């Protein structure tokens, strides 16, 4: 394990990295995908790499000590990455897109909904939704379990955070279609003059606008309902509606506008269900490929949650008892992190290892690359839950594993995501055996869009456990 980053001097002005023209002339710029490219850059040029794309200077960092500075020491020198900056056109000024000092005020207002005692209160909803989902399954059928995970994650975040019952399949599909449309936003964000392109009536923007309008109708309807009945329901939306933010308006009694409430709810609804569903989709695909790991998760779940007539839904106190299932979910997040790269834009000049970073430069810290670095995870492509035992975690740098980012922009819903992932895996593995349909590829193909998704449906065959 290397405690010192591998940093070469390059040409003096910039760290080493691939040149754009040779990549263009060879056709490599059109082949492969972003995660493969970043992995190759790290392997070839080290832990601080420089390259350009469409006239932008990009710095890639892949060592835990550099990443710690990126999230903590140098955080105030950054703005959001270009994708999140451009995403304001769709998401507004929510937690994902806003800059300081607005972001920190928003985080303080929303944080109580994600405190430990509050997360514990969500366990009942997670358990109920998990049991309702598997009750609908039929033995011997083959289902796309990523679609199932999208539906349950949406129902959980809707009920826990907004007291919203997303019951019908039509509602689930409508929201999922809006998320799918938003994923098409990534390639546009990097194009020159993308602000103008986003205003054009091209198919991808038409889909994004249609999805946005449908989500607006749901969220503004939810807000209007709360305005008519403002009683405290103990959820995030009640907290936001009761909150007073005098720093925003100068009025000591001013509450959030409908627009600000909308932006916060939209951001958390989209980010709070899609990423968790992707992680669960990958986890179930892995379990089907590793029967011995699936059997161990099932044995633990049965010991903790009971079987047959004594079977029950998970409760908050069960989370700490599902240790192996937690390690399995963590190993999934290592190999298949839904947030596969964290990006920032330099806002003021500073240095990294003697190299000047100028305003407007983009910095990327790709989780996908660092999580698969053999210096920190020997035999990195092997799925090994024991990597996340207390002993093994203590033996590697803190920022070798950061699926939820870190610092002031660490995912506010991390605690909910962990409980949701662990409980859903446990309930499924306790009662169902998952197998791969014939001719399923051994490797899990990935789609690195705004979040990391399985490239193909996660079709798995269900057999009820005796």
Of the candidate ranges 103-107, 284-288, 311-315, 364-368, the one whose mean pLDDT is the lowest: 103-107
What pLDDT is recorded for position 276?
Answer: 95
CATH number, domain containing residue 26: 3.30.43.20
How much is the average pLDDT of 333-349?
96
Q: Between these two residues, 440 and 158, which has the higher pLDDT value?
A: 440
Q: For residue range 49-73, what is the model confidence (pLDDT) as tens digits?
A: 999 987 789 999 999 999 999 999 9
pLDDT at position 415 is 93
Over residues 309-335, the pLDDT tens digits come to: 899 999 999 999 999 999 999 999 999
pLDDT at 244: 67
Q: Is the pLDDT of residue 413 over 70?
A: yes
Q: Is the pLDDT reported for residue 190 higher than 60?
A: no
Side-chain-side CA neighbours of residue 382 (13 Å): 8
Instruction: Say if 44 falls within a structural domain.
Output: yes
Region of poorest pLDDT, from 182-191, 221-230, 386-395: 182-191
Rounded percentage of the chain residues whose pLDDT exceeds 70: 86
Average pLDDT value for the chain: 87
Which residue range forms the structural domain that includes residue 5?
A: 1-91+340-402
What pLDDT sits at residue 253? 52
Does the residue 27 lie in any domain? yes
Higher pLDDT: 218 or 11? It is 218
Strand partners, 362: 58, 345
Does 354 fall in a domain? yes
- The answer, yes or no, to whether residue 348 has pLDDT greater than 80, is yes
Residue with tokens 């929510």, as numbered in its chain: 94
Mean pLDDT of 37-60: 92
Would 434 be classed as within a structural domain? no
At 361, is the pLDDT very low, low, confident or very high (cuts 50, 70, 90)? very high
Higher per-residue confidence, 249 vs 80: 80
Q: Across residues 4-14, what is the average pLDDT? A: 82
For residue 273, what pLDDT is reported? Answer: 85
Select from 147, 135, 93, 116 the least CA-distant residue to 257.
Answer: 93
- Residues 269-280: tens digit of each pLDDT: 877 788 999 999
Mean pLDDT within 68-85: 86
Q: What integer pLDDT is reported at residue 87 of this predicted model?
A: 66
Question: pLDDT at residue 25 above 50?
Answer: no
Mean pLDDT value of segment 27-52: 83
Annotated binding site: 411
Number of domains, the chain: 1
- Across the range 182-210, mean pLDDT stands at 68
Q: Which residue has the higher pLDDT, 320 or 13?
A: 320
Question: Is residue 42, in this structure, part of any structural domain at all?
Answer: yes
Q: Is the pLDDT of residue 292 over 90?
A: yes
CB burial of residue 256 (10 Å; 0-12, 13-18, 19+): buried
Whether residue 18 has pLDDT greater than 50: yes
Pairwise CA distance, residues 272 & 234, whole Å: 18
33 inside domain:
yes
Q: Contact 319/419 with Cβ under 8 angstroms?
A: yes
Binding residues for heme: 411
The pLDDT value given to residue 48: 97
Residue 316 CB coordination number (10 Å): 18
CA atoms within 13 A on the CB side of 253: 0
pLDDT at 144: 97
Residue 364 located in a structural domain: yes
What value does the mean pLDDT take over residues 221-247?
A: 82
pLDDT at 215: 82
Compute the average pLDDT of residues 17-46: 75
- The length of the chain is 466
Judge whether 162 lies within some domain.
no
**Are 382 and 335 within 8 A, CB to CB?**
no
Mean pLDDT of 178-202: 65
């Amino acid at each position: 394990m290397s405690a010192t980053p591998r940093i070469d001097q390059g040409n003096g002005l910039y760290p080493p990295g691939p040149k754009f023209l040779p990549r263009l002339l060879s056709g490599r710029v059109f082949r492969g995908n972003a995660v493969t490219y970043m992995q190759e850059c790290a392997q070839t040029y080290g832990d601080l790499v420089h390259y350009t794309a469409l006239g932008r200077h990009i710095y890639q960092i892949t060592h835990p000590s550099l990443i710690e500075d990126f999230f903590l020491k140098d955080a105030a020198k950054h703005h959001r990455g270009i994708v999140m900056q451009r995403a304001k056109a769709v998401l507004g000024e929510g937690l994902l897109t806003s800059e300081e000092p607005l972001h920190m005020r928003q985080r303080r207002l929303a944080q109580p909904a994600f405190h430990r005692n509050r997360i514990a209160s969500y366990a009942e909803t997670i358990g109920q939704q998990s049991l309702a989902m598997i009750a609908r399954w039929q033995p011997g059928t083959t289902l796309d379990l990523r679609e199932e995970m999208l539906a349950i994650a949406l129902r959980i975040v809707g009920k826990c955070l907004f007291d919203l019952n997303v019951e019908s399949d039509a509602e689930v599909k409508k929201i999922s279609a809006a998320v799918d449309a938003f994923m098409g936003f990534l390639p546009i964000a990097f194009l020159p003059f993308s602000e103008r392109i986003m205003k054009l009536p091209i198919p991808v923007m038409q889909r994004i606008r249609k999805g946005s309008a449908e989500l607006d109708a749901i969220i503004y309807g939810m807000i209007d309902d709360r305005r008519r009945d403002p009683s405290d329901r103990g959820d995030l939306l009640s907290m936001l509606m009761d909150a007073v933010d005098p720093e925003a308006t100068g009025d000591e009694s001013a509450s959030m506008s409908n627009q600000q409430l909308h932006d916060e709810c939209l951001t958390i609804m989209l980010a709070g269900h899609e990423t968790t569903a992707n992680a669960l989709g990958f986890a179930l695909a892995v379990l089907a490929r590793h029967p011995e790991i699936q059997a161990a998760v099932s044995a633990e779940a049965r010991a903790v949650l009971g079987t047959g007539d004594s079977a029950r839904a998970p409760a908050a106190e069960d989370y700490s008892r599902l240790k192996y299932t937690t390690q399995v979910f963590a190993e999934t997040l290592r190999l298949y992190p839904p947030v596969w790269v964290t990006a920032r834009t330099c806002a003021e000049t500073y240095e990294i290892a003697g190299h000047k970073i100028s305003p407007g430069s983009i910095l990327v810290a790709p989780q996908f690359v660092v999580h698969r670095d053999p210096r920190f995870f020997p035999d990195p492509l092997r799925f090994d839950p024991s990597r996340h035992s207390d002993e093994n975690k203590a033996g590697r740098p803190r920022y070798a594993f950061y699926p939820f980012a870190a610092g002031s922009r660490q995912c506010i819903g991390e605690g909910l995501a962990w409980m949701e992932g662990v409980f859903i895996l446990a309930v499924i593995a306790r009662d169902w055996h998952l197998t791969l349909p014939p001719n399923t590829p051994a490797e899990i193909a990935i789609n690195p869009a705004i979040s990391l998704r399985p490239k193909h449906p996660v079709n798995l065959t269900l057999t009820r456990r005796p």
